Amino acid sequence: MNSSTQSGSGVSATMRDRLADWRQLLERCGRKATRKRVHALRVVTLRMQAELERDLADLPRASHQAQAILRFGKQAEKLRRALGPVRELDVWIGKLRGLRASLSETGDYVPRSMHDCISGIDRLEDRLTQKRRAAEKKLVAQIEKSGSRLVKASEDVASELSAFVFGAEAGIAEELAARFHAVRAEFPAFDQVNLHDFRKRIKTVRYLAEIYAGTDRACAQIATQMKKVQSAIGEWHDWQDLGREAHHGRRAKSKALTELLDTISAESFEKALSAVNSVSDRMQEYRHETGNVRMEGRKLQARGDLDILADLNKKLA
């Protein structure tokens, strides 16, 4: 396990503090789900899911610690599903505002097609803003309904894991490199159907790398590579989804805007593919630099860890 057993006083301050910070974020988001609060709560929730699920791999499923992790994971997953739609709408609205700003910088003369685009952005943003208000109300209601269970689950995890100290672990970078390559091997070719699936599958690698980045230089490098590829794929996927939203709007659509969004989506898809290839090459070099993967107690096999990892990837999807 990525921990060392301690006496009763050996509390994992890092885990305990992160859980406390997470509860504060939950409380603030329950009062008012602003863009920054929703984003922060979603990221922290996903990171904690990834870390705790990794620890779960080394615990007997019947143990109190494992059961506490499973209960927290179940509640955290419900929260993540409620946060997702709000976060997605925030991203779309932000992209539209950035696009409007770039189009407005063309000078005093605005071609008719550009004017149509800006008008289309205004209408689409208005529609998305209304959806965002509705999604926020639903999120706040969900937090109010399940907040006590979420808090209790996080407190149970902190209590049950208080006998462990979590910190740096030898071989973590090699493990993460192996995880990335295991996922990459499942995607011999990318298209607009499976590229986003790949992004979701490597989320676990990124979150774990970021957790250990402060104590492991190699993990920091892996985190940088994962952020690069995920950002590029995410950029494309956001523009693609925004374009679909513009195409399927009930109100009058702007042909100029939909064509522009389709063009941006196509260009960002090519950039995403380039980023995937670049990062894959870098990770392959990293694998050669570190030599054969050695993970004491965590050797990836056909079953076991790979099954747990597959389950986690489905949850984070």
Structure tokens at 279: 């990062």
| Predicted TM-score of the model (pTM) | 0.80
* β strands within the chain, DSSP E: 3-5, 164-166
Cα Dmax for the chain: 73
Predicted pLDDT of residue 286: 67
Per-residue pLDDT of the chain (317 residues; tens, 9 = 90+): 444 333 333 334 477 888 899 999 999 999 999 999 999 999 999 988 988 888 887 788 888 889 999 999 999 999 999 999 999 999 999 999 999 998 887 655 555 678 889 999 999 999 999 999 999 999 999 999 999 999 999 999 988 877 554 444 667 888 899 999 999 999 999 999 999 999 999 999 999 999 888 888 899 999 999 999 999 999 999 999 999 999 886 655 688 899 999 999 999 999 999 999 999 998 987 665 554 433 333 333 323 333 434 444 444 44
Region of 130 on the Ramachandran plot (φ > 0 left; ψ -120 to 50 alpha; else beta): alpha
Summarize the chain as % helix, strand, coil (round to 5): 75, 0, 20
